[in-house]
Amino acid sequence: MTAIPVGVVGGGAFGTTLAHLVGKNGHTALLWMRDRERAEAISRDRRNERYLPGFELSANIQTTTDLAEVAGRCKLILMAIPSSAFRVVARDLGDSLRGDHVLVSATKGLERGTFARMTDVLRQETCCLKIGAISGPNLAVEILKGVPGGTVIASGFEEVVRLVERSLHGPRFRIYASHDLLGVELCGAVKNVLAIAGGIARGMGFGDNTLALLISRGLNEMTRLGTRLGASPETFSGLAGAGDLVVTALSELSRNHRVGRGLASGKALEQILADLGQVAEGVPTARVVKEWAESHGVRLPICQGVFEVLYEGARPDDAMERMLSLPAMWETPATDIS
């Protein structure tokens, strides 16, 4: 297989991990970062000590601070930028792109005020048509350790799927394909909000029964929101939906789970995020989802409870009590069984 250069925009934990996967598969990964000193340190030391301390990175990673260089050298570009900065970076990158570039979002978030998914932003800010998104249970530390895992590439274009498979698929990291771009992106964003609820429950000392309840009912919320927007219900029971929700809600490696634990312990959100030192996408996404649900009359009680804790000063124990004290109801739509 001929090696290809692959651009990765964003030098955080997941962007660096994607670049490492590309390099391990024998391709050149051109990793764009804002900070020149950190970019030079990765090139020199083969480490990203800020986000992934202790891990040696592939020698096939090259770094740059020039988006035009990424566009000039790479046909496939993976975007791993926080949702809050995604539009600005996409616009800057767009100045150097051609119509035949392939862009893939690796960001699990939604834009506040527009409810835009990251692929919507890519369409709006660039000339590219061949666009996709990857999402799944992808804890960066486990991927770097070589623990078997996988992700979903969603796109309506076969070329997008094939290029991502060629770049990332390997013996320890499987790639699955989907045509449901909408569903895969919504799974990746909303599960982060639900993971905060999982962290709150675990931090309050609740057991596995409670976590299973939150995860299953959270999956129901994700599915109702997604199908209301036109996504396929099957997507939510797959790797990008149930798979990612389970690991993010349960794992202490999950940033959003750790946010929930911090809230349960009584820490202020600002302190939790400062201690985390990285973006927890569930925090801004909770506001976006709440605003959308209200405007469309969709009940999402777990997401609503997380929003109240994050932004309205609700006590985690009170919010959890409300989440767990909903009236009895049919789990699936009621049918006439007479």
Do 62 and 129 belong to one domain?
yes
Angle subtended by helix axes 208-229 and 282-296, to nearest 10: 60
Residues 206 and 300 in one domain: yes
- Looking at the structure of the chain, the number of domains it has is 2
Domain boundary among 179, 197, 231: 179
Written as one string, the DSSP assignment of 51-78 is TBTTPPPPTTEEEES-HHHHHHH-SEEE
Let me know whether 238 and 119 are in one domain. Answer: no
Predicted structure pTM score: 0.94
Residue range 2-56, pLDDT digits in tens: 889 999 999 999 999 999 999 999 999 999 999 999 999 999 999 999 999 999 9
CATH code assigned at 92: 3.40.50.720
The pLDDT tens digits of the residues spanning 196-217 come to 999 999 999 999 999 999 999 9
User: CATH number of the domain that 236 lies in?
Assistant: 1.10.1040.10
Which residue, of 123, 152, 179, is where some domain finishes?
A: 179
**CA angle at 236 for the pair 233 and 240, rounded to the nearest 5°:** 140
Would residue 330 count as lying in a domain? no
Q: pLDDT in tens for each of the 338 residues of the chain?
A: 688 999 999 999 999 999 999 999 999 999 999 999 999 999 999 999 999 999 999 999 999 999 999 999 999 999 999 999 999 999 999 999 999 999 999 999 999 989 999 999 999 999 999 999 999 999 999 999 999 999 999 999 999 999 999 999 999 999 999 999 999 999 999 999 999 999 999 999 999 999 999 999 999 999 999 999 999 999 999 999 999 999 999 999 999 999 999 999 999 999 999 999 999 999 999 999 999 999 888 899 999 999 999 999 999 999 988 877 777 677 765 444 33
Residues 105 and 169 in one domain: yes
| Calpha distance 328→50 (Å, rounded) | 47
Please say if 191 is a catalytic residue.
yes
Q: Which of 108, 191, 267, 290 is catalytic?
A: 191
Q: Is residue 335 part of a domain?
A: no
Answer whether residue 210 is part of any domain.
Answer: yes
Cα–Cα dist 196/263, whole Å:
9
My answer on whether 195 and 286 are in the same domain is: yes
Domain that holds residue 96: 5-179
- Tell me which of 151, 179, 207 is where a domain ends: 179
For residues 9 and 198, what is the distance between their CA atoms, to the nearest angstrom?
Answer: 30
- For residue 329, tell me if it sits in a domain: no
Cβ proximity of 101 and 71 under 8 Å: yes
3-state DSSP assignment of residue 180:
coil
